[in-house]
Amino acid sequence: GNSVTQMEGPVTLSEEAFLTINCTYTATGYPSLFWYVQYPGEGLQLLLKATKADDKGSNKGFEATYRKETTSFHLEKGSVQVSDSAVYFCALSDRGYSTLTFGKGTMLLVSP
């Protein structure tokens, strides 16, 4: 079956540091890959997505590249801000958006 593995948190960084959150997946076929973000007290929001190999999703300074050869979709940001503190979920779907399989989530804490 499908599964998503992402690094455990919390990840603690200082403002303007470089961020990487690792995500690897197991799936049949060619899934679509997603990163969701959950700010405190709010629902999950789609941050970025990629639907095929070598696609790069990007939004709000975050980016992730769909790497089929390593089955990975690592999230990166060059310079984090305090406002980026949240929980980040990697997810996949092999049927469009119909069914999402999530990783456990990684909490990011950014200090001034």
Partner 1 sequence: GAVVSQHPSWVICKSGTSVKIECRSLDFQATTMFWYRQFPKQSLMLMATSNEGSKATYEQGVEKDKFLINHASLTLSTLTVTSAHPEDSSFYICSARGDYNNEQFFGPGTRLTVL
In the complex, the residues that contact partner 1 under the rule CB under 8 A are: 4, 8, 36, 41-46, 89, 96-105
Q: Which of 91, 72, 74, 83 is nearest to 108 (CA)?
A: 83
User: Considering beta carbons, is residue 17 or 55 the nearer one to partner 1?
Assistant: 55
Q: By C-beta, is 49 or 77 nearer to partner 1?
A: 49
Token code pair at residue 106: 């990684």
Q: Do the strands 106-111 and 11-14 form a parallel or antiparallel pair, or are they unpaired?
A: parallel
Q: What is the CA radius of gyration of the chain?
A: 13
Q: 3 or 14: whose CB is closer to partner 1?
A: 3
- Smallest separation, CB 67 to partner 1 (Å): 21
